[in-house]
Structure formats: structure tokens, C-alpha cells
């Protein structure tokens, strides 16, 4: 079954589907991002898949196509401060809740990538949802591209950490920069236990 066919089958019972996903749960730095997308029922966007399976260039191209095709979309975040205060899982759920609430359009079901759901109207967890549902895959691309762009902006603010290269993930280069310069204000302190 293709990603489009999965959504099509579901539309018999739930005509308006919102797909939700997050990006940035693993990195050592930066906000966590989430996106919610409502696609038209006939939208079958070629190339849309789990954002992790696509090249950066392909994700960038699809980002604009998804935004121009969507009936509604919203990209939202939870801050580093919120991550530290309520932990990364809860912060990711908060970002997804904000994205769903920011759609400004009613939906019948919200498909969430993974096994946990945020506190929103009629959520359904879909394991590997970004490789199963077109709506979730589209959300995964919006969240990933938006977060990568944000990390490139942070790179300009804190060039010594090379954020544009590793996007905040715990690569050897990133750990080396943290050891050399110490953490900066956008680092998640609770994630840095291993560097000290």
C-alpha cells in the first residue's frame, strides 16, 4: 500500500486528515520542531516519504510543494528552556499540540508519527507513520526542513559550533566543539552529561 493509498482508505471514515510529526528530539542543541499538515484528499505528491530517507535537496524542493498544496499547515516549536523544564518527550508533544492548534481548520483525525500522542482532538499514533501515511510524511518534511533552516541561522550566531554541518546532533565534531568552547545558550544542558 502506498502512502497515498493509506490516507485514502482512512478518508472513508475520516474525510479530513491532519498529519503530525516532530524533528529534533535527539540533538544536543536547539528547539524541537513539529509540523501539522492537512492535504487535499486528491493530493498525491510524488517523492514524499519519511524525511530521513530523502536528501536535503529533495526535502527542500518538497517543502515548497507541500506548503503550496496543503489546505492548511502549521510549524511550531518548543524551546530549549521548555525541553529542560518538562523533558524532551513532553516538549515534542507540546510542539505538536501547538502545530495542531495552529492549523485553523477542523480535522476528523490526527495521525501522529510514533507511539505517543499529544493532547489534541482525536489523535492516533502510527508507528513509522512517516513511512506509512502521506500526511505524516509531509509533516515530517516540513518539520525537518524548518528545523534545519533554524540550525543554519544558529550557525551564524554561534559559528564556532558548526551547527549548519551537524544540525545540533551529537556528532564527533559537535562534541569536540563543545569540549573546546563549552556549551552556549542554545545547548540542552540535560543532554550534555556525556561531554563533561
**pLDDT of res. 194:** 60
CATH of the domain at 176: 3.30.420.10
Cα–chain-centroid distance for residue 143?
3
Number of structural domains found in the chain: 1
**pLDDT of res. 196:** 47
pTM: 0.96
Beta bridge partners of 63: none
Cα separation, 18 vs 142, whole angstroms: 13
**Maximum CA pair distance of the chain?**
56
Structural domain including 26 reads 3-195
196 residues of the chain, pLDDT tens digit each: 999 999 999 999 999 999 999 999 999 999 999 999 999 999 999 999 989 999 999 999 999 999 999 999 999 999 999 999 999 999 999 999 999 999 999 999 999 999 999 999 999 999 999 999 999 999 999 999 999 999 999 999 999 999 999 999 999 999 999 999 999 999 999 999 765 4
Cα separation, 121 vs 76, whole angstroms: 17
**pLDDT of res. 88:** 97
Amino acid at each position: 500500500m502506498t502512502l497515498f493509498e493509506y490516507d485514502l482508505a482512512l478518508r472513508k471514515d475520516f474525510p479530513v486528515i491532519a498529519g503530525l510529526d516532530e524533528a529534533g528530539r535527539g540533538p544536543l542543541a536547539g528547539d524541537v520542531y513539529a509540523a501539522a499538515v492537512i492535504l487535499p484528499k486528491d493530493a498525491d505528491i510524488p517523492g514524499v516519504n519519511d524525511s530521513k530517507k530523502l536528501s536535503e535537496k529533495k526535502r527542500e524542493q518538497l517543502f515548497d510543494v507541500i506548503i503550496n498544496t496543503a489546505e492548511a499547515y502549521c510549524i511550531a516549536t518548543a524551546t530549549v528552556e521548555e525541553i529542560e523544564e518538562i523533558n524532551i518527550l513532553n516538549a515534542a508533544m507540546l510542539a505538536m499540540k501547538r502545530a495542531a492548534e495552529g492549523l485553523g481548520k477542523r480535522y476528523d483525525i490526527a495521525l501522529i508519527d510514533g507511539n505517543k500522542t499529544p493532547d489534541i482532538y482525536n489523535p492516533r499514533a502510527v508507528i513509522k507513520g512517516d513511512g506509512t501515511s502521506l500526511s505524516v510524511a509531509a509533516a515530517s518534511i516540513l518539520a525537518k526542513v524548518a528545523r534545519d533552516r533554524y540550525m543554519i541561522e544558529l550557525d551564524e550566531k554561534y559559528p564556532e559550533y558548526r551547527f549548519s554541518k551537524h544540525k545540533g546532533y551529537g556528532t564527533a565534531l559537535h562534541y569536540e566543539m563543545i569540549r573546546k568552547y563549552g556549551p552556549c545558550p542554545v545547548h540542552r544542558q540535560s543532554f550534555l552529561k556525556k561531554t563533561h
